[in-house]
Structure 1
Amino acid sequence: MSFGTGLRAVLASVGVLGLALTAGTSPASAADGTPTAPTQLFNGNRHCSADVNRPTHLWARDGLVITGIPGTTGDSLVTARYQIWPVADPDQVITVTRDRAGPRFEAPVTVPAAALTDGQTYAWQAQTVAGDAASEWSAPCYVTIDNTRPANAPALSSPNYPPDEWNQGGRPVTFTLNANGDDDVTGFQFSWQQDFSVIGTSIGDYGIPQPVDPYSHSEYFKRADAPGGSATLSLIPPHGAGVMTLWVRSLDRAFNGSATTSYTFRVGSTAPTVTPAVPSPEFGKKTLFTLRPDAALQSTSPVVGYSVRTSDHQGGTKTVDVTAAEDGTAQVELTLDGIHGAFIQVTSRSANGWVSDTASWNISYDTTPTVTSDAYPENGSSGGVGVPGTFTFAPKVEDVVSYTYSFDGGPEVVVAAGTDRTASVDWTPDTNGFHYLTVYATTGSGIRLAAEDYFFTVN
C-alpha cells in the first residue's frame, strides 16, 4: 500500500472522531482563564503552510482534517473553532468547531469533502473560545485540494543493466525515472517488491502530529529534478544474482500515486568459492576453509569481506564475518560438529555494498554408535526369557566418553566409555517377542551425538 493511501486511512479515522464529538456535545461554558490563539496547527497531519504561494497539497476525498491546540491560561475545557474559505472567494466561509477540547491537546475537526473542490486553494484559521470570551484568530494556513493522481505511469530504464541479457553483477544498477509527460509529478516511489512501503505520521505527546518527509527515506523515495521532470537512482539489488524487478510509480505534491511501471533485468552469479583444506574434514575437527571471490566480480567491484553461516542440520546456526585480503581472498577456521553433518553458506561483500549470491559447501556425518550382540543379533530372533545377553557400543567418531541407553523405552542409563572408547552392558529379558535398544554417545565437549535404534526378537 502506498504512502498516500496509508495516510488517508489515518486521517479518515481521526476526522470521524472529530465530527462525532462536535455533534454530540455542547460548547464549554464555564471558563477559568483567558483564551489565547491556538498553536501547533496541522492539516492532513502535515505542517501548516503560512505562505499562500506555497500551500500544502492534500488528498481530501474523505474530508480534510485540520487541527490545533487551543490556548487558555486556565485548565477548563474550551471550544476550538475553525474557519475555512476558498482563497479565490473569501466570503464563502465554513465554520467547524470542536467542543469540550482539553487545554494543551490537539483538537482535530474534519471539513466535509462535499465542501471542498478538487484543485481549489483554501485558507483556514483557528480560534479558542472559553465561555463568552474568544481569542484572536491564528494566522491563516493554506492548502490546495488534490484528489487527482498523476495521469501517466513513469518511464523507467537502465543504461547499465539491459533487460534482455544476463548482466555481470558488481556495479550498482543505474535507473532513469521520467514523469512521462505529467507536469504534476514531483517525485517517485520505488520498491524491489510489488507492494510499496507505507510511511505514516506518528502522533506524539498531546496528540501532536510528527510529519515525516517521505523523500528523507532515500531507500524508497526520490524527488524529481523539477515538476514533471526526471530522477536517477543508483541501487544495489536485493540479491546477488537472478531475475530482479524494480517497481516505480510517480507521486504528485499530495503524494497521490500514479499507475505502476516495472523494469526486469537479469544478473549472473557472483558467488565465491568455498574450499576446505582437506577434501573430507573429520567430525569435530577444526578445518581451515579458503574463500575466493568470483573473478569477474573482483575485477568489477573488489571484495572486502565474507559472511559465513554454518548450520548443523539440527536447526542450530552461527554466522561470522571474515575480512578479505587485498586480493579478495580470506581464510576461516571452522569446527564441524553437526551430528548429522555440516552445511556452510558464504556470501561475499564488496566495498560498494554489493552482496553476492550464496555459495554453499556441505558434508554428511554418521555419529550413531555401532551396537553388536552375540546373544541377540540385530533384526534376528534368538535367546529366550531369562537368557542374558551382552551389548557392545562402539563409536564412529573420536572423543566419545560415554553412552546413554535404554531398553524398550525405559529409563535411560549412562555408561562410561573405556580407553578404547567402547562400552558393554548386560541385559536379561523377562518377556519374549519384539524388543529394541536405543543408544547415543556423548563427546568430551558435551555434544550429544545421533541415536541408534537396535531391534531384535527374544524367543
Structure 2
Amino acid sequence: MNSLRALTVATAAVLFALPATAASAAPTAPTLTVGGVACAPGGILVGSPTPAITARFTGSGTLTPSFAVWPAGRPAQRVEWTAPELSRPGTAFTTLPSAVVDGGKYRLTAHGASCTFTVDTVRPKAPLVTSADYPRGQSAGGAGVAGKFTFAADGDRDVVKFRYSAPGAGLVEVPADRRGRATVTITPDSYGAKAVTVQAIDRTGNRSAETTYEFTVIDNEPRVYDDNPSAAIGEPRVIRFWSAVPGTQSFTYTFNGGPAVTVPADAQGYGHATVTPGRRGDNPMTVTSRTGNGVVSPEITFNVYVRVEVPVPQISSPDFPGDGTPPPTVGETVTIVLRTDSPEVAEFVVSLDFGQTEQVVAADADGNVTFQHTLPPDYIFLEVQARARTADGFESGSGYAGWELTPADG
C-alpha cells in the first residue's frame, strides 16, 4: 500500500483534525459496504484496487461521516478522511483516498464500525466446459432433448459461481460446488449449430474470460416416405420411416386417428409400415421415433394422399353456334351448358364477370347443368369460368369459354 504510506505526516495531521460530527447527537455505528460487498465478521474479499465505500447511518440529526483505513497490522500507516455532511438516516458514499494493492489486507473504520477486507483483483481462469450428451464437434441429441453440461473452474479455488447463456435459456447464474464445478441441463429447441457461453466468477465478483462451447443438434424429426403415392383408395401403401438419431430402435404411428402401432427400426435407422387409405384426399399419419434409451422425437404429421380426379367442365352455349350467326345482343338471355358426365360432380362454381364474383350451380345426376344467363347491357364480351366440385369438397381445375356480343346499337 505504497500510495497510502506516501501520504505526508502533515496531510495525516490535517485529516486527524477533521471533526467527526456536525451535530450534537452522537452518531450510531453505520453498516459498511466495500466494493459492493457487505462487511462481515472474519473479513471480506474485494475485487477492485479502488473500491467504493458506503456507510448507512441510522438515528437522527446531521453528521460529517469520517473514515480511516490502514494495512492490517500496521496502524501507524492509518489514513483518515471525511465524506460530505448528510442528514440521518442516510447513506454516505466515498472512496479510499488512494489505491490499495492486490493481495493486501486492510482495516476500515467509520464511527465505531469496522471492516477487514482483502484485495483480490486477479480474474479467474476461463472455465472448462464438457458434455457427454452434446460432445464438442459432434452431432447429437435433438430438438427438445435435454443434455447435461458441466462447468469447471480449472483449478481456481475461489470461484463461487458461473454465468452462462445458452439457446432458449437467456443469461443464467449457477453456484459452484466445493470443487469449483457446476452441472446444468440445457434443452435445445431447434436443430443445427449451437453454442453455450460461460464465465467463472470468484468471491470478489471478478469474472473470467468467456469460454464458448460449440456443438451441433441433430434434426431428430423422423422422415416419412410413401412408396406408392399414386395408389387409389382401398389399395395398400408401403410407408417408410427414417431417423438420423443414433440408436433409433422403433417408430410409433397412428393412421387416420386409429390406434398407435410400433414398428422396429433397423441398424441404419429405417422402418416401414403398410396402411390402406379409406378415403380420398388426405389420410393423416402421426409418427415419432424412439431410441434404445427411451428418448422420443418430436411428433410429425404426414398425409398419405389419395388422388382425386375431378374433370374440368366443358363449357358451351347453343346461342353461340360458331357458324357465322350473329352473336346475341347485350341484354338478351342466353343458355349456358356445363358438362363433366361424371356422377361424382355435385355442383359447379361459376363466374360470369371475369372472376369478380362466383355463384354455385347444382349439377344433375350425370354431373352436368344447363342454366340461363341475362347478358349485362354494358358488356361486349361474355367470359364463363367454371370449376366442378364433388359432394365431399374436391374441385377440378377451371374451365374457360368466351364469346363476343352484338352491341345494343347494332
- Normalised by the length of structure 1, the TM-score is 0.47
C-alpha displacement at 1:415, in angstroms? 2.5
C-alpha contact 1:440 1:449 (8 A) present in aligned 2: yes
Structure 2 residue aligned with 1:437? 385
C-alpha contact 2:43 2:118 (8 A) present in aligned 1: no
Structure 1 residue aligned with 2:165? 191
Structure-2 change in CA distance of 1:275 and 1:415 (3 Å)? same
AA in 2 matched with 1:154: P
Structure 1: which 5+ runs fail to align? 1-36, 72-77, 102-106, 126-136, 199-219, 311-319
Structure-2 change in CA distance of 1:441 and 1:326 (3 Å)? closer
1:259 aligns with 2:209: yes
Once residues 116 and 388 of structure 2 are traced to their aligned partners in structure 1, the CA distance between those partners, rounded to angstroms, is 75
Structure 2 residue aligned with 1:407? 352
Once residues 442 and 325 of structure 1 are traced to their aligned partners in structure 2, the CA distance between those partners, rounded to angstroms, is 36
**Residues 29-178 of structure 1: matches in 2 within 5 Å?**
51-53=40-42, 94=83, 111=93, 150-159=123-132, 161-166=134-139, 173-178=147-152
AA in 1 matched with 2:316: D
1:456 aligns with 2:402: yes
Greater relative contact order structure (CA < 8 Å, 6+ sep):
1
Structure-2 change in CA distance of 1:357 and 1:412 (3 Å)? closer
Structure-2 change in CA distance of 1:82 and 1:391 (3 Å)? farther
Aligned Cα RMSD in Å?
A: 6.7
Structure having the larger proportion of residues in strand: 2
Once residues 307 and 123 of structure 1 are traced to their aligned partners in structure 2, the CA distance between those partners, rounded to angstroms, is 73
Structure-2 change in CA distance of 1:419 and 1:351 (3 Å)? farther
Structure-2 change in CA distance of 1:222 and 1:455 (3 Å)? farther
Structure-2 change in CA distance of 1:85 and 1:292 (3 Å)? farther
Once residues 192 and 233 of structure 1 are traced to their aligned partners in structure 2, the CA distance between those partners, rounded to angstroms, is 11
1:248 aligns with 2:191: no
Structure 1 residue aligned with 2:314? 372
AA in 1 matched with 2:200: S
Once residues 164 and 314 of structure 2 are traced to their aligned partners in structure 1, the CA distance between those partners, rounded to angstroms, is 65
Question: Which residue, out of 173, 181, 184, partners 1:230?
Answer: 181
AA in 2 matched with 1:252: D
C-alpha displacement at 1:373, in angstroms? 0.8
Q: Deviations over 1:222-269 (max 9, x none)?
A: 332237x333445444446x4443332223346664332223334555
Q: Deviations over 1:414-443 (max 9, x none)?
A: 333444565554435453347353657485
Structure-2 change in CA distance of 1:326 and 1:190 (3 Å)? farther
Once residues 339 and 54 of structure 2 are traced to their aligned partners in structure 1, the CA distance between those partners, rounded to angstroms, is 78
Structure having the larger proportion of residues in helix: 1
Once residues 327 and 50 of structure 2 are traced to their aligned partners in structure 1, the CA distance between those partners, rounded to angstroms, is 88
C-alpha displacement at 1:191, in angstroms? 3.2
AA in 1 matched with 2:212: S
C-alpha contact 2:190 2:217 (8 A) present in aligned 1: no
Once residues 50 and 347 of structure 1 are traced to their aligned partners in structure 2, the CA distance between those partners, rounded to angstroms, is 57
**Residues 209-358 of structure 1: matches in 2 within 5 Å?**
220-226=172-178, 229-233=180-184, 235-239=186-190, 242-253=192-203, 257-266=207-216, 270-274=220-224, 279=229, 294=243, 297=246, 348=289, 354=295, 356=297
Once residues 50 and 259 of structure 1 are traced to their aligned partners in structure 2, the CA distance between those partners, rounded to angstroms, is 27
Structure 1 residue aligned with 2:408? none
Once residues 107 and 369 of structure 2 are traced to their aligned partners in structure 1, the CA distance between those partners, rounded to angstroms, is 90
Structure-2 change in CA distance of 1:416 and 1:272 (3 Å)? same
AA in 1 matched with 2:327: G
AA in 1 matched with 2:195: T
Once residues 247 and 231 of structure 1 are traced to their aligned partners in structure 2, the CA distance between those partners, rounded to angstroms, is 14
C-alpha contact 2:387 2:397 (8 A) present in aligned 1: yes
Once residues 63 and 396 of structure 1 are traced to their aligned partners in structure 2, the CA distance between those partners, rounded to angstroms, is 90
Structure 1 residue aligned with 2:334? 388
Structure-2 change in CA distance of 1:177 and 1:392 (3 Å)? same
Structure 2 residue aligned with 1:214? none
Structure 2: which 5+ runs fail to align? 1-27, 71-77, 266-270, 406-410
C-alpha displacement at 1:390, in angstroms? 1.9
Aligned-pair identity (%): 20
Once residues 381 and 223 of structure 1 are traced to their aligned partners in structure 2, the CA distance between those partners, rounded to angstroms, is 93
